Structure 1
Amino acid sequence: MIQENDFDVVIVGGSYAGLSAAMALGRSLWKVAVIDSGKPCNAQTPHSHNFITHDGDTPAAIAAAAKEQVLAYPTVQFIEDLVTGVSGEDNQFEVFTEKGLQLNVKKVLFATGVKDLMPDLPGHAECWGISVIHCPFCHGYEYHDEETGIITNGEMTLDFAKLIRNWTPKLTIFTNGPAVFGDQVKDSLEELGVSLNERTIEKIEHRNGYVSQLVFTDHTTQHLKALYSRPPFVQHCRIPEQLGCTLTEQGHISVDTTQRTSVAGIFAAGDNTTMARSVSGSIAAGGMAGARICHDLISQQYS
């Protein structure tokens, strides 16, 4: 339960980046509130990989252990709530929540992630993060040498195929309609040993999120074990944009090497700032943000 309204830092989002920043700040004796609504984007992902000491753990288990360790520091509070607005300026921000809280804070860190926009393709959302995947470094090993597909149709098709070809030779490009790239790309795919299927996909058949086959509108099918997909995304939280934070061309919050945004006193870390989405990367970014915020608070305290 919240005990006061004045904090040095509010962290919006209590997953990996947010908790990592909270640990750095808690160990630095700053008063921190972590506000989280309990809806992580990787909720249905069964295992986290490519993260030493935690390879194969569930994302929920990693987050739960992190939360327990962070809350051992007495200056850190965890609030289950949704931030609905932020106003003010550096060192004089007000943070508002869905449950009616109004917190006075010096710095704000957004560790709010992104929201993937699922295509209108039956089975895609149900398999997302399980066998419909976005990152070979996170999931590729589990499907190496298996029948694998990539949904892609555009200028990045060949590069994407070259990347995934490293994990499996049993690879098919699904353009989900006529290919928009020319014969040169088609010839290069053939040289790689990558098949091309231009049929329109009707649905992804699966069992409990594990792909079994694609069904096409012409009633043909193709067996698969995994399907790479990179759907578009939007910022999970629009407040940084409302505050004036600059976004990159790709739609991420623009930050410097210490996770500062373009707005003084506002920081961002995690998937909302980079296309390289990973648990380990988010933790590293959160740690950096926490350290930078600490330095800024100290510098301003003695200026």
Structure 2
Amino acid sequence: MTHSQTFDVIIIGGSYSGLASAMSLGRSLRSVLVIDSGKPCNAQTPHSHNFLTRDGETPAAIAAIAKKQVEQYNTVQFHAGLAIQGLQTGSGFEITTEAGEVFTSKKLIFATGVRDLFPSIPGFSESWGISVIHCPYCHGYEVKGEKTGLFANGDMAYEFSKMVYNLTHDLTILTHGKSTMTAEQTAHLETKGIAVVETEIEALKHTSGVLEEVVFKDGKTLTLKALYARIPFEQHADIPGELGCALNEQGFLQVDAFQKTTVPGVFACGDCVTPMRSVANAVAMGTLAGAMTNKELVDEAF
């Protein structure tokens, strides 16, 4: 077990939200350690959109520019590793990595994201982020007017279909089993020409993640250009829960308007706290989390 120095703040997660927090804190002269395992949830996504100055860039390129800029601040250090345990101490927090290193800090920021739980449909995970997409704001413009599917059910399918219908009227909802939408919802979808297919899906036929058709268990097929999907997720990191951070009913870490979790001294930002998963939103939340963490340190020391 290797003991390291104490930092003002440890940030767990070095993607957009974590890097934005680190910049905010580094510029405030705080000693910061960013622990990152190098597995962002959008690793497979070819292009990032809806982020001013970087529209259409690859997520990796944006992250590389961000990291290079944060590295200019000698107040920020990076550690490649997986944080696996967190403890509250008298003076703050202690984080242990998979390799057994121990780091301590006064404050913690979780920018750990979420892990998507893919259905066991061949081709689904391989197409995720490429032609099986989660966000109309991130990817919708590129497939506007195209033959599109929506993999969802119940109220979620109905509500999400409104958003997708705004971008394309050639829309089919795939419930992958019996529809749980109400008769009123189904009737309204019919007036918009939106079909609902309840047949279970056998596989997604694709080439390098580019969707060609949906193959159903009854042998029928449906040609699609894109498939929006609302799938379940879990928190990427167990540490917030072990420290006592509450989750909201959607399964996100509960934070207030200042990115504070329910545990004093612990902040969270990015995809682990919001369904609005975008680079722009992650950066905004990370910047705020960094500033609010710094304010707490300032107030305590003054």
Alpha-carbon distance in 2 for matches of 1:179, 1:298? 54
Alpha-carbon distance in 1 for matches of 2:4, 2:73? 16
Give the 5 Å matches for 1:132-281.
Answer: 132-281=132-281
Please state how far the C-alpha of 1:156 moved relative to its aligned partner.
2.5
- Provide TM-score, normalisation by structure 2: 0.97
Match for 2:125: what amino acid? Answer: A
Tell me what 2:123 maps to.
123
Tell me what 1:88 maps to.
88
Alpha-carbon distance in 2 for matches of 1:234, 1:52? 29
Match for 1:71: what amino acid? Answer: E
Q: Deviations over 1:209-235 (max 9, x none)?
A: 010000011111110000011110000
Alpha-carbon distance in 1 for matches of 2:153, 2:144? 23
Please state how far the C-alpha of 1:3 moved relative to its aligned partner.
11
Structure 1 unaligned regions, length at least 5: none
Please tell me whether the aligned partners of residues 89 and 264 of structure 1 are also in contact (alpha carbons under 8 angstroms): no
Tell me what 1:25 maps to.
25
Please tell me whether the aligned partners of residues 243 and 263 of structure 2 are also in contact (alpha carbons under 8 angstroms): yes
Match for 1:261: what amino acid? Answer: T
Please tell me whether the aligned partners of residues 3 and 101 of structure 2 are also in contact (alpha carbons under 8 angstroms): no
Please tell me whether the aligned partners of residues 158 and 188 of structure 1 are also in contact (alpha carbons under 8 angstroms): no
SS at match of 1:156: helix
Q: Deviations over 1:84-126 (max 9, x none)?
A: 1111247421111112211121001010000000001111100
Please tell me whether the aligned partners of residues 90 and 106 of structure 1 are also in contact (alpha carbons under 8 angstroms): no
Please state how far the C-alpha of 1:182 moved relative to its aligned partner.
3.6
Q: CA RMSD in A?
A: 1.4
Please tell me whether the aligned partners of residues 4 and 101 of structure 2 are also in contact (alpha carbons under 8 angstroms): no
Match for 2:300: what amino acid? Answer: Q
Give the 5 Å matches for 1:68-83.
Answer: 68-83=68-83
Tell me what 1:16 maps to.
16
SS at match of 1:45: coil
Alpha-carbon distance in 2 for matches of 1:92, 1:179? 49
SS at match of 1:237: coil
Tell me what 1:36 maps to.
36
Please state how far the C-alpha of 1:200 moved relative to its aligned partner.
1.5
Alpha-carbon distance in 2 for matches of 1:265, 1:65? 29
Please state how far the C-alpha of 1:194 moved relative to its aligned partner.
0.9
Alpha-carbon distance in 2 for matches of 1:229, 1:110? 26
Match for 1:243: what amino acid? Answer: L
Match for 1:215: what amino acid? Answer: V
Please state how far the C-alpha of 1:181 moved relative to its aligned partner.
2.5
Please tell me whether the aligned partners of residues 270 and 282 of structure 2 are also in contact (alpha carbons under 8 angstroms): yes
Give the 5 Å matches for 1:45-64.
Answer: 45-64=45-64
Tell me what 1:100 maps to.
100
Structure 2 unaligned regions, length at least 5: none
Alpha-carbon distance in 2 for matches of 1:228, 1:161? 9
Number of matched pairs: 301
Q: Deviations over 1:2-31 (max 9, x none)?
A: 995111110000000000000010001110
Please state how far the C-alpha of 1:153 moved relative to its aligned partner.
1.7
Alpha-carbon distance in 2 for matches of 1:80, 1:283? 21
SS at match of 1:106: strand
Please state how far the C-alpha of 1:177 moved relative to its aligned partner.
2.1
Q: Deviations over 1:117-168 (max 9, x none)?
A: 0001111100001100111000000100100000122122222211100000
Please tell me whether the aligned partners of residues 41 and 114 of structure 1 are also in contact (alpha carbons under 8 angstroms): yes
> What is the percentage of aligned positions where both structures have the same residue?
51
Alpha-carbon distance in 2 for matches of 1:175, 1:3? 51
Alpha-carbon distance in 1 for matches of 2:56, 2:213? 26
Please tell me whether the aligned partners of residues 5 and 104 of structure 1 are also in contact (alpha carbons under 8 angstroms): yes
- Provide TM-score, normalisation by structure 1: 0.97
